[in-house]
Amino acid sequence: MKKNLVACAFVLFLSALVSFQVSAASTTRLGGQDRFDVAVNVSKNGWSSSTTVVLANWDAYGDTLAATPLAYKYNAPILLTKPASITPRTKEEIKRLRAKNVIIVGGPISVSENIVKELKNMGISVKRISGNSRMEVANNIAKAMGKKSKVVIADGFNFPDALSIAPYAARNGYPILLTNNKHLLENSTQSLINSWAISQTIISGGPLSVSNTVYKNVPNPRRFGGNSRYEVSANIAKAYYSSASTAFVTKGSIFADALTGTVLAAKKNAPMLLIEPNSLPASIKNTIINIGFDRFMILGGPISVTDSIKNKLDNEIVGATIMLDPGHGGTDPGASGNGLVEKEIVMDIAKRVNSKLNSSLAKVVMTRSTDKYISLDQRVKEAEKADADTFVSIHVNSFASSAANGTETWYSARYASSESKELAEEIQKELVKALGTNDRGVKEGGFYVIKNTTMPSVLVEIAFISNSSDASKLASNTYRQKTADAIYKGIMNFYN
């Protein structure tokens, strides 16, 4: 989440006026009835016109694994066709783009000479890049791009690793070279690398995709491996896209949607994240959280990437950093009563809130995750250091009279006043509803941690540890989970 901060300094005193503009998560689906539609919709999203188009066989990924850097060089979308004649939707898109050149990737079996004639009859210049094997096609694409100081190597007989690295390779002009079915380099590929005096070789995939023999025989290798295709794509994103806000998301078990989207991803300087159709693998989830992506482009229809995944990515809390502050700790136990200690209760509840927020793809930072003392000033500094978007301090209340009871939530009017009040209102509403406690309302006050944090901040007083009825709820695992759920819902309400 991004926020705008405006500070005004006055001669006799310093006051800060902070206005926050939180960017809503945004998810765009580039789908369609089939892979032809996806390719056309990708093209329409990225190109109002294009002098050049790259054309490939709709069902053969081998020849086209290395095509993305070439397409990016010519600012050309990749479109798909069946082998015998140009698919009508593709033909119409070529016309819309007002293309003057088509580069066909693959031999006549993949894209027939009839298609070449058809294109020429449309007044289009046609160039074919082919070879006796997919490795040779990749080599010829590399030669067409021109001599480079770095190259990428990926498995030529399995597509995911090549497509995960393709946006980065394309953006930087690095050709993609392919291993053969033994996960080795052909002599012609090794000769190409040797003749170019390569300074670095980027390897996408583990030793089962690009062998250790290859790794040992190429210049200055850097391998991106992982336990799965999903982890490989996550590791590439972490290495090269740590400051990006946009990511492309596509099903990791089919090639066509990712293939045609790689050039658009390169144009937007965004990674390609591979996922399962109805779930986010842990490595991808952690990458989204830790990098803070809040813009997503989904490649493929609901059969490829379900609407439930789209809705999850489209939630406004995705990309936000939430600071949870379990009060007290260590040598400062907080309040106690009815056999309970505040620092233990709030730590338990904060961890439960953390888990809920993490599942919603928010980045959660805890001022403490163990029983240790942290000063109030340090808590504020940690929130500012984390560039938190919201700050929630969790406490339980106590009073000399055991009659005092109920729930209240505090905010400060010093910074982000209206946003803080709104956050407090949402959390208070959900807590009272979930716990059935006395509603003591939302209050403005000068607690140190909410007075001195510049983002929307609240301090929650869940219930009174000194009141036997409230304390019985604070002692209950069921009510602690209800409390965590309510705080989570209040935060989600605030963002949505």
Answer whether residue 18 shows pLDDT above 60.
Answer: no
Buried b (16+ CB within 10 A) or exposed e, 468-477: eebbebbeee
Residue 231's pLDDT is 98
Number of H helices, E strands in the chain: 18, 20
Q: Under DSSP, is residue 441 helix (H, G, I), strand (E, B) or coil?
A: strand
d(CA 368, CA 354): 12
Beta bridge partners of 398: none
Instruction: Give DSSP secondary structure letters for 286-306.
Output: HHHHHHT--EEEEES-TTTS-
**Domains of the chain and CATH, by start:** 26-314 (no CATH), 321-495 (3.40.630.40)
* Catalytic residue (choose from 231, 316, 430, 461): 461
Which one is predicted more confidently, 246 or 197? Answer: 246
Rounded percentage of the chain residues whose pLDDT exceeds 70: 95
pLDDT single digits (tens) 433-445: 999 999 999 999 9
Please, what is the average pLDDT of the chain?
94
Answer whether residue 24 shows pLDDT above 50.
Answer: yes
Mention every residue, 6+ apart, whose C-beta is less than 8 A from residue 347: 326, 329, 368, 369, 371
d(CA 278, CA 307): 8
pTM: 0.89
88-97 and 35-46 helices, crossing angle to 10°: 10
Answer whether residue 22 shows pLDDT above 90.
Answer: no
pLDDT single digits (tens) 263-320: 999 999 999 999 998 899 999 999 999 999 999 999 999 999 999 999 999 999 999 9
Residue 382's pLDDT is 97
Please state, in angstroms and as integers, the Cα–Cα distance from residue 428 to each residue in 438, 475, 486, following that order. 11, 20, 9
Residue 25's pLDDT is 64
Clarify whether 426 is annotated catalytic. no
Residue 113's pLDDT is 97
| CA neighbor of 156 nearest in space, from 136, 171, 134 | 134
Answer whether residue 8 shows pLDDT above 70.
Answer: no
Other CB atoms within a 10 A radius of the CB of residue 60 amount to: 16
